[in-house]
Every structure is written in C-alpha cells, then in structure tokens.
Amino acid sequence: MQEKFSALTDSEWEVIKQIVDNQRRSKHEKRLIFNALLWILTTGSQWRNMESKYPPWQTVYYHFRQWKKRGIIEEVLAFLAVRARKKAGRQALPSVVAIDSQSVKIVQFTCQDKGIDGNKKVNGRKRHLAVDGLGIPWAVHVTAAHVADTTAGYELAAKLKGKSSRLHTLKADNGYKDTFVEEVKRDYGWRVEILQKPESVKGFVPAGGRWVVERSYGWLNFKRRLSRDFEKSTESAEAMLQLAFIDTLLKRKTK
C-alpha cells in the first residue's frame, strides 16, 4: 500500500491516458495535472499551496471540475475496476456487492450538505460505498451525515444501476433493513442480504463478505485529504473518493 506520494509512472499513465488526455492543445500536460490532483489528495495540502513544479492551482482545479462534470474521473475508475477484476481472474462485472457507510467530520465554513450523525456523534457527511469482493467500488455516494442509511442506500443503488448486468445481491448491515430491502427488490430486482455480527461479540468480525467494505475504507486512510471532508460540494467529495481508488488501483501490485 502506498504510504507517501509518488507520481504516476510511464506505465501507469499509459493505462489511463486515452481516457484522460483528449489530445487537445494545452499549455500543460494532462499527466502533470493528474499528478497534481493525486498530490493534493495524498498530502492533504490546500489548492493554493500547490507545489511549484505543478501548473497553477487554478489550472489544476479547473481540470478537476471539468473531469468531474464530464464523468471522466468516474469513467477511469470504472475502466480500472474491470481491469483489476480480469487481472485477478474474475469475471469483468461483479454479481455481488457489499454496501456500507462511513461518517466523517467536515472542516469549518462548509455549509452545503452537512448534518449530525446521531449514532456516531459526528457533525459532517457520510460516505457510502458499494464494493465487490476485491474491495473495488462500483458506486460512490456522499450525503449529509444525518441522512438515514436506508435513504442514502437507495440513492447509492440508483448509481449502481447499469453498472453490472450480472449483479443480483447486495450485502448490508442492519442499518439498511426496513424499506430498503423491499424497494431495491421492487425497483432493481436485486436481493438484499442483511449481515450483522452478534451484539455480544466485541471488535472486528468478518461478517459474510461484508467486511470488504471496511477494508476499502481503510485504504482511504493513506490519503490525508480524506481525513475529513474538505470539499465544498458532495460532488467534489465523491470525485476525491474516486481519485483515491484510481490511485490505489493503478499502484496495486498483481502477480
């Protein structure tokens, strides 16, 4: 696992170049701009503190917004997800995914989409992931922390729609029972399997394949930008999560 920032190697850039670089004439190379985004993500620095070896922060931020708006970042992640599954000897698309949420604090002056998670006593936002058996995310969703998992889970399911023709089962914990199970079955035809460790058991328990989500959240700990939610909008927060998994997948060592 990457513990400090390292720019994309030639081979890593070649993997995503055709998606990111549209070959339009530009003052700055797209590879340098993409590396600048990963530097921000890994170091947790402010935009205005961009290192001088990278383009001006305004340029990098402009491309971040454009790639986010045009779906380029999401497209890169989807491409790498299929690539990673094939390298692992799996079918290209998953048939089962696990979902879960993580509440994170926000920074001062964040005014959009924030709230208090009453259970975890966190004032901020919630990150929601739907990952396959390898921990690779197929849908990412960010909401205010007070939004119920059943509500956010249904919104996450909507983002899963069309991602995998093989998908038939979602694995979740008790926070997603109630109406979520019926709504997902009714609207998407997917079965929801509720898995929960016994209340008498302390510590981590690998509950029926749902633990892979916790591992995926663990990967995010290597990105200082994600220690809290620093983004103004939930759309930017989702894009930063997607970039984190892109970096992780590009640098993952496979046999």
What is the extent of the structural domain holding 224? Answer: 91-229
Q: Per the domain annotation, does 34 fall within a domain?
A: no
List the alpha helices (DSSP H) in the chain: 10-20, 30-43, 57-69, 72-87, 149-160, 179-188, 211-219, 234-250
Tell me the pLDDT tens digit for each residue of 185-240.
999 999 999 986 545 445 444 555 778 999 999 999 999 999 999 999 999 999 99
Tell me the pLDDT tens digit for each residue of 78-91.
999 999 999 999 99
pTM for the full model? 0.92
Q: Per the domain annotation, does 22 fall within a domain?
A: no
Q: Per the domain annotation, does 106 fall within a domain?
A: yes
Q: Per the domain annotation, does 149 fall within a domain?
A: yes
The pLDDT of residue 208: 54
CATH of the domain at 163: 3.30.420.10
Tell me the pLDDT tens digit for each residue of 34-54.
999 999 999 999 999 999 999
Q: Per the domain annotation, does 167 fall within a domain?
A: yes
Tell me the pLDDT tens digit for each residue of 122-140.
999 999 999 999 999 999 9
125 phi/psi in degrees, rounded to 5: -135, 165
Q: Per the domain annotation, does 235 fall within a domain?
A: no
Distance CA 20, CA 34 (A): 9
Q: At what angle do helices 72-87 and 234-250 cross, to 10 degrees?
A: 30
CB atoms within 10 A of CB 19: 15
Q: Per the domain annotation, does 152 fall within a domain?
A: yes
- The token duo for 65 is 């917004």
How many CA atoms lie less than 13 Å away from 44 in the CB half-sphere? 13
Domain count, the chain: 1
